Structures are given as structure tokens and as C-alpha cells.
Amino acid sequence: NYNYDTNEMKLWKQIEVKGFKADDFQTKQVFYPSKDGTKIPMYILSPKDLKLNGENPTIIYGYGGFDISLNPSFSVSRVLWLKHTGGVYVSTNLRGGGEYGEKWHKAGTKAQKQNVFDDFQAAAEYMIKEKYTNPNKLAIEGGSNGGLLVSACCNQRPDLYRAGVANCGVLDMLRFHKFTIGYA
């Protein structure tokens, strides 16, 4: 809970997970270059004692659309995965999202949609180059619009990932307006 008048942050709520110690993990924000040179932010969550040896199981999550921002958040399932695998979880802030306003959002829509895929692929390249992981230990995940993202990236760059999880992918954009939320 942040108080703007006093410039103080106070703990609002804390979820306890048996055997989990928050102090054993770290989250850091990095910026990496996309294919066209645009700096793209992402959050990397990992154990503090992580060895950068290219052998860590890693999941990169992305969305990149509909002006939706991905902010760091707590997830029990994510924590359990990190705790039991010693792996790395990454949340990307791709163009098409709402993180940096309308210009950022528009840079990932319509004729610029490929920017979103390039941004996500560049995140994987960064994680490999910086020795967090390697293609055999790297999975990508996204849901809805993020499912489209994962599907496109797995097809465009299958060399980068061992697995792709496309949850409820919005894959038929020509008839999107006839289905589920597109119909609304």
C-alpha cells in the first residue's frame, strides 16, 4: 500500500506458502533490444543463488495486446514451480500492451503485429545469450492473445523453445468477432 502524501510503502497483504521464503528469490527488471532495436522491458523472477550456466528451466510469459499491461504479481503456483525446479519465470512487457501508453499499444497492432512476435522472440534470445537457459530448457506461455503470440512464435522460431503452451489462443482473427469475447 503506497501513501503518496508521506512517500511510504506499507505491506497491505501477505500470502504465506508453507516452506516458501520470499528472501530466497529476486525479481529484477531488464530491458533488451527487439529486432528493430526498440528496448523492451521484462521482469525476471529467480532464486537469488541462481547460476547463470545456461541450464536453468525457464518459462517466458507474454501477452502483448489489447492495451493490457502485465505487472509483477504473486502466484502460488509460480512460487511452487520456482521452489521445486530452481527455475526462472519471466514476464514480458511487449508492444501491443498498455505499459507505455497508446503509442506502445498501437506499435503492436494490425500491420505492426509482427513487432509483438519479434519482441517475444528477442526475450528468448536474451535469456539464452545471458546464460539463464538454453532452447532445450525454455518454454513459452500465453493465454488468449498470448496464445496467438505463443503459436506464432513456435511456428516462426521453433529453434528457440522446447515447449509452447498456448492457453485459449485467439487464432482465427478473420472470424474473431463471431466467437466468445470477440462477439461481445
Over the stretch 133-175, which tens digit does the pLDDT of each residue have?
Answer: 999 999 999 999 999 999 999 999 999 999 999 998 888 878 8
Q: In the predicted model, is pLDDT for residue 107 greater than 70?
A: yes
Q: For position 183, what pLDDT does the model report? A: 58
Mean pLDDT of 101-127: 97
Q: Per-residue confidence at 127, pLDDT binned at 50, 70, 90? A: very high
Mean pLDDT of 78-95: 94
Q: In the predicted model, is pLDDT for residue 181 greater than 70?
A: no
**pLDDT > 70 fraction of the chain, expressed in percent and rounded:** 97
Q: For position 184, what pLDDT does the model report? A: 52
Question: Which triple of cell numbers denotes residue 180?
Answer: 466468445
Q: Name the nearest CA neighbour of 158 among 131, 142, 135.
A: 135
Give residue-wise pLDDT tens across range 25-45.
Answer: 999 999 999 999 999 999 999
Q: In the predicted model, is pLDDT for residue 13 greater than 80?
A: yes
Q: Name the nearest CA neighbour of 35 among 89, 97, 99, 107.
A: 107
Q: Which amino acid is at 173?
A: M
Q: Name the nearest CA neighbour of 147 among 178, 101, 116, 183.
A: 116
Q: Per-residue confidence at 182, pLDDT binned at 50, 70, 90? A: low
Distance between CA atoms of residues 94 and 168, nearest Å: 19
Question: Which triple of cell numbers denotes residue 51?
Answer: 547460476
- 46 contacts: CB under 8 Å, gap ≥ 6: 25, 26, 56, 82, 87, 88, 89, 132
Distance between CA atoms of residues 153 and 144, nearest Å: 14
Q: For position 158, what pLDDT does the model report? A: 98
* Mean pLDDT computed over every residue of the chain: 92
Kind and range of the H or E run holding 29: strand 25-33
Distance between CA atoms of residues 154 and 159, nearest Å: 8
Q: Give the other-Cβ count within 10 Å of 7's Cβ.
A: 7
- The terminus-to-terminus CA distance of the chain in angstroms comes to 35
